[in-house]
Amino acid sequence: MPGPLASYRFRRRLLKLAALLAIAGAAGLVSVLFWNTGHSYETPLSTEPALFPEQQRNVRLSKAERSQALATAALFVKTAVVREHVAQSYALAHPKLRQGLSRAEWSTGEIPVQYYPVDAARWRLDFQYADELGLAVYVVPRAGADLRPMVFDMSMKPVDGAGGRHWLVSAWVPRFSSAGQTPPSSSERLAAVAPAPGRMAPLSTVWLLVPVFLVASVLLVPVGLYVRDRRRGRRAEREYAAALEERARAERGGT
Q: pLDDT tens digits, residue range 192-248?
A: 444 433 333 344 444 455 555 555 555 565 666 666 777 777 787 787 777 777 777
Asked whether residue 24 is assigned to any structural domain, the reply reads: no
Query: Do residues 120 and 192 touch, judged by C-beta distance below 8 A?
Result: yes
Asked whether residue 212 is assigned to any structural domain, the reply reads: no
Sheet holding 150-161, edge to edge: 164-174, 150-161, 133-141, 118-128, 188-192
CA dihedral (64, 68, 70, 74) positive or negative: positive
Q: What is the CATH number of the domain that holds 159?
A: 3.10.450
Q: Where are the alpha helices (DSSP H) in 41-88?
A: 63-76
Query: Do residues 167 and 155 touch, judged by C-beta distance below 8 A?
Result: no
Asked whether residue 254 is assigned to any structural domain, the reply reads: no
CA dihedral (226, 229, 234, 235) positive or negative: positive
Asked whether residue 142 is assigned to any structural domain, the reply reads: yes
Confidence class for position 161, pLDDT limits 50, 70, 90: confident
Candidates 59, 190, 61; CA nearest to 135 is 190
**Total tally of structural domains belonging to the chain:** 1
Dist. CA 245–CA 253, nearest whole Å: 12
pLDDT of 6: 58
Dist. CA 18–CA 21, nearest whole Å: 5
pLDDT of 96: 95
Asked whether residue 251 is assigned to any structural domain, the reply reads: no
pLDDT of 153: 95
Query: Do residues 117 and 141 touch, judged by C-beta distance below 8 A?
Result: yes
Q: 164 vs 171, which has greater pLDDT? A: 171
Asked whether residue 222 is assigned to any structural domain, the reply reads: no
Asked whether residue 140 is assigned to any structural domain, the reply reads: yes
Domain that holds residue 187: 63-194
Whether the full predicted model's pTM is greater than 0.75, yes or no, is no
> Hey, which residues does 43 pair with through a beta bridge?
none
Asked whether residue 229 is assigned to any structural domain, the reply reads: no
Confidence class for position 190, pLDDT limits 50, 70, 90: low
* E strand map for 147-235: 150-161, 164-174, 188-192
